[in-house]
């Protein structure tokens, strides 16, 4: 019979232990006991439970995973007693299991300080999904909430309160700063000001003397006798290792808690291991998940006849707290005179960066990043690998100024043993040798090394390493489209143009190989459209699904419908038609960010009928499905607004009508504001126009989304005609030269010479292509057609909008809708 391993605790680390063990050995019978009613879940992302994720979403494994791997799982059945003499455990439900090895992964509980009134109703801890359910239930009747504890978990808990709709959320911390373990006072001040903007009130240096209220909590009384009123209190004042079971069994525990382990993670009984937040190694509890995983790895190694040991763990960390980047690495707190400290602070943007450098200026010792942690990976590598610093170490936090720095060079200077992917423990050396053995793209590399398959944080570095390794081997690193075309998008664009190729198969026959794929097909489709502006449904199977069905596919396989509403101006009559159509076809309606109306939940079969009715009422396709112009947003301008300088609505409509339907490397958004108050948010768009006393200011290459970027001024005080000429040139230049799926902002960031160069090309016509660009754009403008109009009036094209080809009138029976706030929503 196989020897038995009993795992006590089914948290993240307990689960990881099982996962690692079954991947490496089937020599053991594994029995797991968990206290909670559910399978191990992702506690790190617990706050997402309030942001809409379900308990199942957070689960670490599928429901059948344990059974599939032959693991016996007992939930809601905590182990009550360990008998080290006979090597057996007793569970709450009365199970007695003899073990050969015992793994304690009991984790930690919330530390609850002994304050008078702590037992009152409305006081919660923040640790498990059950805790969250209780908080959720109570928060329904709460208007205000306080979190006690300004550490990492406390701030997560505060975010959870905000997500629950509590507008008055306070954080109380007894230390003089937030996240006292990770960041310094100046960093805390920056974080505090960012968090206050988001509606959190922070109280530092506050010692709570009692919790007020008659039965239910009504406030916190501090030792300076001040009172903070609140409807509920969430305690997140630290963690306490769950060592009670070990203590009872007679295993050695630390004076302040924690099960004492050696470098093999063995407790004072060699057959018993402890891992994760319950384990005390050299006087330290490791309260992060990554060292817990490493401990699991050590035990698995011991049980599979290897001898990996635990030697402490780097507690550097990077996270996003309520939308604010916070990172702390190496020795974050060492200060002068033991080192030299460089600090960069931008109170306007809320950025704080501190690096600590050895007194001889050679090595980076550690640091703190608030507001912008993009440099974290590289800085951490610089510390961990003792890389000698450049003569101007301030470049590390300010970026190289003046001379252009080459992208991957920094990464290539790392030593081979530098750990690049910490989730899967992949070093720089193994990545480079995988590249040398033929894994020359990200997918291949992920497959053979596992790097980048966990949290994904290392992917940019992995990409740089691939490019750097190829370059070092003298291989020309070319930005090719995919395995079927050895060209960049710009090269293929020119080839298709010169050879006047009009369809995908011809392009593939002339310039490619194989049978194409989901990368090159839509890319070629976009180029063909940008060049010839033929009807895209003629080559429907090379289009991305949204372009193939001229609608946006949504959860559950239904589509959304967006008619064009130029400039956001719409007549009451048209509004009524949208309402009638949505009602008739049972669609969910929502106003979009681009000042139009989106109708969701349309069956593919209904699309031609829906559009038939919209077109009859004078609507056109809104091209929301295409990589093309979406909307030109406008403010109401001089026709109504007392501040308006020019008629921004009319100009927005003119521009939207001009560029509608033009296919581009990515979607395009525009805006026109009638004055400097900028109500159309034009500077957040690919092109934005703002009225001035003398004419218009034209801004380009702005972006909202995940990496917001302000548009930059291309030309000032120009008249409408010049503005459109510059726009023609700008858009066509972008369409011809950008990489696929690159927005204008990213395109500009990569453009050699940046804005100065772009201005030269567009305004000064330094390349002498101005006229050509304008002509090419005019061709696209003149050949506009509404794709939906063509489909609606063509019975052959209409036929393609069926779910079942052999039962064209039947709708997909798997589509399920439910009701929310009196409208439909996809049931998932």
Annotated binding site: 635, 641, 675, 679
Burial class (CB in 10 A: 0-12, 13-18, 19+), 507: buried
Quickly list H helices, 244-318: 244-249, 289-303
> Contact between 514 and other proteins (CB under 8 A)?
yes
Neighbour tally for 233: CB within 10 Å: 26
- Nearest approach, Cβ of residue 543 and other proteins (Å): 8
Give the residue ranges of DSSP H helices in 533-568: 545-548
We find the least distance from the C-beta atom of residue 491 to other proteins, in angstroms, to be: 20
Q: Does 516 bind other proteins (CB under 8 A)?
A: yes
Among 49, 485, 549, 588, binds other proteins (CB under 8 A): 549
Site membership for other proteins, residue 53 (CB under 8 A)? no
SS (H, E, C) 111-172: CCCCCCCCCCECEEECCCHHHHHHHHHHHCCCCEEEEECCCHHHHHHHHHHHHCCCCEEEEE
Does position 818 bind other proteins by CB under 8 A?
no
Residue in 814, 818, 821, 822 binding other proteins, rule: CB under 8 A:
814
CB of 556 to other proteins, least distance (A): 7
Per CB under 8 A, does 557 bind other proteins? yes
CB 698 within 8 A of CB 726: yes
**Chain center to CA of 565:** 31
Q: CB of residue 805 vs other proteins: minimum separation in angstroms?
A: 4
Structure tokens at 551: 């609608």
* Binding letters toward other proteins, positions 465-484, x by CB under 8 A: ------------------xx
Among residues 237 and 550, whose Cβ is nearest to other proteins?
Answer: 550
Given candidates 119, 323, 391, 541, which one binds other proteins under the rule CB under 8 A? 541
**Smallest separation, CB 606 to other proteins (Å):** 16
Residue (of 336, 286, 317) closest to 379 by Cα position: 317
Q: Rule CB under 8 A: is residue 805 a binding residue for other proteins?
A: yes
Measured from the CB of residue 26, what is the shortest distance to other proteins in angstroms?
18
Output the six-digit token pair for 18.
Answer: 């099982």
Least distance to other proteins, CB of residue 604, Å: 8
- What string of DSSP letters covers 396-425? HHH---SSPPPTTHHHHTS-TT-EEETTTT
Helix (H) or strand (E) holding 699: strand 696-700
Applying CB under 8 A, among 515, 693, 782, 818 the residue interacting with other proteins is: 515
Return the number of the residue (128 or 560) whose C-beta is nearest other proteins: 560
Structure tokens at 25: 């050995």
Identify which of residues 357 and 551 has a Cβ nearer to other proteins in the complex.
551
Applying CB under 8 A, which part among 70-78, 526-534, 731-739, 803-811 lies near other proteins? Answer: 803-811
Residue number with CB closer to other proteins (340 or 463): 463
Member of 347, 810, 819, 820 binding other proteins (CB under 8 A)? 810
| DSSP H or E run through 10 | none
- Taking the complex as a whole, the smallest distance from the CB of residue 191 to other proteins amounts, in Å, to 34
248 in helix, strand or coil? helix
**CA–CA gap between residue 333 and residue 336 (Å, rounded):** 10
Residue set of the binding site for siroheme = 679
CA dist., res. 302 & res. 274, Å (int): 13
Among 64, 255, 706, 806, binds other proteins (CB under 8 A): 806
The correct pick among 522, 670, 702, 770 for binding other proteins (CB under 8 A) is 522
Nearer to other proteins, 453 or 638 (CB): 453
Residues 519 and 538: their CA atoms lie apart, in Å, by 19
Q: Give whole-number Cα distances, 610 to 227, 371, 595, 743, 800, in Å.
A: 60, 46, 20, 31, 15
Site residues for other proteins, window 420-459 (CB under 8 A)?
443, 446-447, 453
CB 105 within 8 A of CB 265: no
Q: Which is nearer to other proteins, 756 or 807 (CB)?
A: 807
Size of the site for other proteins (CB under 8 A): 38
Q: Report, in Å, the least distance between residue 541 CB and other proteins.
A: 3
- Judged by CB under 8 A, does residue 548 bind other proteins? yes
Assigned token pair, 238: 């630290």
Binding site for other proteins (CB under 8 A): 443, 446-447, 453, 483-484, 505, 514-518, 520-522, 540-542, 544-546, 548-549, 553, 555-557, 800, 803-807, 810, 812-815
């Amino acid at each position: 019979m196989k020897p038995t391993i009993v795992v006590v605790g089914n948290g993240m680390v307990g689960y990881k232990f099982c996962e690692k063990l079954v991947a490496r050995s089937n020599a053991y019978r594994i029995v797991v006991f968990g206290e909670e009613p559910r399978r191990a879940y992702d506690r790190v992302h617990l706050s997402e439970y309030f942001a809409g994720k379900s308990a199942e979403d957070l689960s670490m494994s599928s429901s059948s995973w344990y059974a599939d791997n032959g693991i016996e799982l007992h939930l809601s059945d905590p182990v009550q007693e360990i008998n080290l003499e006979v090597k057996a455990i007793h569970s709450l439900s009365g199970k007695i299991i003899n073990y050969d090895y015992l793994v304690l992964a009991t984790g930690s509980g919330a530390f609850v300080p002994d304050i008078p009134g702590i037992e009152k109703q409305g006081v919660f801890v923040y640790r498990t999904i059950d805790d969250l359910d209780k908080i959720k239930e109570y928060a329904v009747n709460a208007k205000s909430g306080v979190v006690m504890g300004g550490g990492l978990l406390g701030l997560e808990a505060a975010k959870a309160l905000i997500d629950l709709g509590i507008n008055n959320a306070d954080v109380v911390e007894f230390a003089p700063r937030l996240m006292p373990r990770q960041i310094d006072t100046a960093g805390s001040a920056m974080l505090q000001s960012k968090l206050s903007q988001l509606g959190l009130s922070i109280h530092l240096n506050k010692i709570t003397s009692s919790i007020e209220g008659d039965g239910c909590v009504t406030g916190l009384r501090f030792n300076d006798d001040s009172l903070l009123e609140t409807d509920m209190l969430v305690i997140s004042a630290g963690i306490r290792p769950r060592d009670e079971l070990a203590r009872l069994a007679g295993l050695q525990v630390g004076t302040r808690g924690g099960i004492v382990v050696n470098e093999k993670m063995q407790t004072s009984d060699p057959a018993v291991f402890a891992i994760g937040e319950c384990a005390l190694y050299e006087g330290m509890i490791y309260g992060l998940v990554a060292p817990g995983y490493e401990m699991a790895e050590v035990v698995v190694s011991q049980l599979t006849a290897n001898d990996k040991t635990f030697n402490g763990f780097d507690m550097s960390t990077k996270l996003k707290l309520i939308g604010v980047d916070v990172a702390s690495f190496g020795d974050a707190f060492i200060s002068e005179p033991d080192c030299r400290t460089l600090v960069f602070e931008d109170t306007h943007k809320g950025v704080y960066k501190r690096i600590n450098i050895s007194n001889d200026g050679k090595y980076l010792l550690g640091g703190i990043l608030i507001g912008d942690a993009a440099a974290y990976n590289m800085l951490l590598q610089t510390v961990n690998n003792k890389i000698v610093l450049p003569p101007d170490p301030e470049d590390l936090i300010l970026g190289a100024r003046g001379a252009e720095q080459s992208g991957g060079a920094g990464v290539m200077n790392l030593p081979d043993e530098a750990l690049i992917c910490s989730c899967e423990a992949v070093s720089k050396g193994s990545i480079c040798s995988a590249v040398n053995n033929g894994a020359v793209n990200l997918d291949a590399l992920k497959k053979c090394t596992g790097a980048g398959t966990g949290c994904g944080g290392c992917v940019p570095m992995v990409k740089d390493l691939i490019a750097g390794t190829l370059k070092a081997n003298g291989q020309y690193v070319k930005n090719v489209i995919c395995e079927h075309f050895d060209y960049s998008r710009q090269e293929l664009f020119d080839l298709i143009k010169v050879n006047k190729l009009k369809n995908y198969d011809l392009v593939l026959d002339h310039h490619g190989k194989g049978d194409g794929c989901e990368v090159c097909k839509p890319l070629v489709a976009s180029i063909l459209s940008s060049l010839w502006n033929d009807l895209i449904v003629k080559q429907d199977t090379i289009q991305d699904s949204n372009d193939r069905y001229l609608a946006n596919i949504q959860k559950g396989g239904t589509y959304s419908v967006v008619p064009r509403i130029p400039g956001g101006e719409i007549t009451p009559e048209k509004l009524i038609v949208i309402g009638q159509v949505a009602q008739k076809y049972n669609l969910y309606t929502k106003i979009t960010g681009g000042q139009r109306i989106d109708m969701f939940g349309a069956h593919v079969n209904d699309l031609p009928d829906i559009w038939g009715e919209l077109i009859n009422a004078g609507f056109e396709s809104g091209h929301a499905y295409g990589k093309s112009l979406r909307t030109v947003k406008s403010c109401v301008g001089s026709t109504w607004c007392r501040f308006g300088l020019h008629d921004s609505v009319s100009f927005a409509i003119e521009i939207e009508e001009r560029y509608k339907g033009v296919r581009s490397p990515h979607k395009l958004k525009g805006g026109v504001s009638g004055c400097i108050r900028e109500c159309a948010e034009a500077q957040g768009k690919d092109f934005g126009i703002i009225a001035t006393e003398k004419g218009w200011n034209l801004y380009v290459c702005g972006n909202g989304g995940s990496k917001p970027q302000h548009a930059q001024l291309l030309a000032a005080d120009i008249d409408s005609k010049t503005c459109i000429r510059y726009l023609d040139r700008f858009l066509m230049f972008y369409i011809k030269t950008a990489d696929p799926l690159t927005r204008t902002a990213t395109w500009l960031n990569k453009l050699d010479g940046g804005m100065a160069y772009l201005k030269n090309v567009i305004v000064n016509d330094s390349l002498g292509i101005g006229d050509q660009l304008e002509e090419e754009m005019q061709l696209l403008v003149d050949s506009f057609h509404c794709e939906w109009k063509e489909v609606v009036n063509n019975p052959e094209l209409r036929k393609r909008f069926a779910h079942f080809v052999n039962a064209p009138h039947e709708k997909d029976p798997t589509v399920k809708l439910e009701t929310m706030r009196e409208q439909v929503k996809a049931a998932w």
